[in-house]
Chains A and B, each alone.
Chain A
């Protein structure tokens, strides 16, 4: 590094290194290159930094979900010329054939709805960990093929006919690690982040009802369930099936979602009902119900009320779409005072059980904050207040702006709440913290504890408390109506 910096005096030098190596180099160089250390810190925090003769870019900010990169990635793996027409003897050719899951997966990914839905999940995962391109490609490849070759697909189709491939081979399931061993899925932080979305395990009354009675759904959903049209063949478990992805394996053989739902709802054969119930619940993530919800998330967004409503209904992270929208809006420079107020309300509730933005951002005494354990399942007690920051001294910022956007393909997956126009007094808000804040504001209840963001939250308030002078003896009382900080006066002993 010393040589590179020396050579940089006479010309341009490009240094590429991992974060840890660069940090070590800065430590070794010490005070000799204090400018480099400061620039590196700034770049790690803000994405890039520029000083005289020195430009540091944090390439971790290059996002695979940036619109142009995402389109490129999907086109790379799912483009038509790669998959169509199928290979010789492909089981996907011809009406009534068993179908080729590989081609169907690729075809789905070429459609706007599924590729956007998948992007949303990757955005969520990427908001929690820094994904590599290799990791994203690995997940896309698994989603497309599930590790199967054309030969295997053909052999399976030859041996088992239409029972060979089911919804468990679908990209909507594979993209979330379906078919992988738990240990393998755990090894990918991106996949772990996507799986933490809860897609498949989050119930929705209407979506689940459509599985049990697809006739109640719109025709497009009936098609997804494999509901027979009037001219379909006579009653068989796969009657109405149009794709491997409307079929599920059960103890009573392969059947469509529609047949499974019918059996569960109307069959008088207790053995069949029991078998179908086992298939519905399944073991782990492979139950028909999980597969159905996942398919709807990707392919029935319009029927569920649009992408934002679908995410709110079928993911654990209910406010994901809203968060991404807000991050994009802030990056474009829009005024978001209303949503800032909602955030302050949520933050105030998290840290001191006080759900009002009327006093701005309430900064509790650090001891009270530590004992409160933000987000925990315990009723909030009154907290002594260290200070409060008026709302007009708070602002939302999008971190990846300026020179970062010049050099990298960014996707706005985080926000910063900045106090007093001081970058050191900022809180990085990612999807999960946003979720906790919004849930706290909306329901004034616990949001779960132990998540990393709560550590960030404590750090943010700690920095604020150090920076702000104490503002007299006041108490934030969760019970106060209307909400307000109440003054505390000590006895006069003189």
Chain B
């Protein structure tokens, strides 16, 4: 049983869900889609068990990634030539023709074009394809020395399972409308992932030849079951409602192709997660409405002359600082709560790696129940300084980085949404499209806390000349127009999302 003051437990207490620095947008989305696909795009009924998202797809994976994932699998024979799975994998990995096939190397090259570039690092087991067809979805895999490949958590950490649950069966606190939105979104996801495709034909044919052992589903692990249950917990009601609404917007928008919608879904899920994490920190710190923002900067002069960009850098740094402060405050709350309950074995509640927290544990043991709040704050700060409590801030960073919201490097990072991310924002709001650019910027502030133009009421307006925010808004409009997301009308109104608007909307 993990201690109640361990970083994961504190993060769950604060955010309701635990962000992880290894879990980027692609892994989050892939795990969610796998959970949906393995469970036939619905919640298991009372007498059914959750199906694990762990899907191998070792044959198509070998072809697509040029690496033999069937290495050391010798059981069973394939085709008239009686190929072993290992030999089959070897031939696929090299794109060689086999069993009467022709031009399989071209199929391999085409599949390699679908590799998600944000995942292509480290072992090939962590590489993913863009999630454009059900047959191209697979779970992280790992190979330990002289052992066959197995599917297991590498970068996927369970949040995707929770997200899938929030879509198919959101908690009651999310409201009935969220359940309806979620159902429509999931239906559209299913249709998009199962749309006829030559890629699907290839994957189904290659996987179908494997012995049953290699395609048998994995039983769910306890952690996966917990993650699933967690998605139905009341405290995630707001996040569930947001995800269902945005996923529905993305998946039901007009004109965009199925792959474009699925890619936007990936971005919006991660962005919603990041926004939820930040909003939870703002709530804990009881920040006033004017202080709840991050500033997005679009183009403009070089950094040294670009005050808006400098303030955007600061707003990003502030956001990370707010996450740390909220974590420390929650840790202090938990210490106080445990101490009030009495008889605490502090060394079991805290993760004391390398005995770095011995001095804090000693002080906690001596702490009287009536100790002033400042004392708890001090001990919480000491604990956070000497242990790994920065995961929320790091998780937040990797999420916004992987969706294309973060630009710059090192200390000069700032918020600047890419056109791709803007298309996801427009898609998420497609139910309300088209709208003017001013309305769009207001919505973006309300939904994700991003300030783009004037009139947001955010505190940053006190530090900037109004003209600078106005210019920023004009530049954002230009980016939207250049990406085909907005249209300048003759009366100078910029209309956003005309293409994304729902066909036949009410």
- A residues engaging B (CB < 8 A)? 18-20, 23, 60, 129-132, 183, 186-187, 189, 192, 365-372, 381-386, 450-456, 458-459, 461-462, 465, 470, 473, 475, 477, 486-494
Contact = CB atoms under 8 A, between A and B. Distances in A.
A468 to B, nearest CB: 12
Interface of B: 78-80, 97-104, 106-107, 109-110, 112-114, 130, 132-133, 196-199, 201-202, 205-206, 208-209, 255-260, 263, 419, 434, 467, 471, 474, 478, 481-485, 488-491, 493, 495, 499
Interface centre among B109, B198, B482 (most CB of A within 10 A): B198
Contact of B110 (A368, A490, A494): A368
Given A452-B482, A473-B201, A382 B99 contact: no
Contacts of A459: 255-257, 499
19 contacts: A18-B493, A186-B471, A189-B488, A370-B132, A370-B259, A381-B112, A383-B113, A455-B499, A459-B255, A470-B198, A475-B106, A488-B102, A488-B103, A489-B101, A490-B101, A491-B205, A491-B209, A493-B78, A493-B79
A371 B114 contact: yes
A493 B209 contact: yes
A458 B260 contact: yes
A492 B80 contact: yes
A382 B105 CA distance: 10
A488 B107 contact: yes
A48 B500 CA distance: 24
Nearest to A470: B196
A455 B482 CA distance: 9
Nearest to A30: B506
Contacts of B113: 368, 371-372, 381-383
Contacts of A192: 478
Contacts of B197: 365-367
B257 A366 contact: yes
Contact of A386 (B198, B488, B490): B198
A381 B113 CA distance: 6
B79 A20 contact: no
Nearest to A131: B490
Query: 10 smallest A-B Cβ distances: which pairs?
Result: A455-B484, A491-B99, A381-B113, A452-B484, A367-B132, A462-B257, A370-B259, A489-B102, A475-B106, A491-B101
B106 A488 contact: yes
Given A368-B113, A491-B209, A458 B257 contact: yes
Contacts of B106: 382, 475, 477, 486, 488
A27 to B, nearest CB: 8
Nearest to B102: A489
B490 A130 contact: yes
A457 to B, nearest CB: 9
B101 A462 contact: no
Contacts of B484: 452-456
Contact of A473 (B98, B202, B419, B471): B202
Contacts of B263: 370
Nearest to A188: B492
A369 B132 CA distance: 11
Given A130-B488, A382-B109, A369 B205 contact: no
Interface centre among B78, B197, B205, B206 (most CB of A within 10 A): B197
B257 A370 contact: yes
Given A18-B493, A451-B482, 13 more contacts: A18-B491, A130-B488, A183-B471, A186-B474, A187-B474, A366-B132, A382-B113, A386-B198, A452-B483, A459-B256, A459-B499, A487-B103, A489-B103
B79 A382 contact: no
B82 to A, nearest CB: 11
Interface centre among A131, A132, A370, A386 (most CB of B within 10 A): A370
Contact of B489 (A19, A461, A489): A19
A20 B198 contact: no
Contact of B102 (A382, A385, A465, A487): A487
A283 to B, nearest CB: 13
A490 B97 CA distance: 9
Contacts of B259: 366-367, 369-371
Contacts of B419: 450
B88 to A, nearest CB: 9
B489 A473 contact: no
A390 B256 CA distance: 25
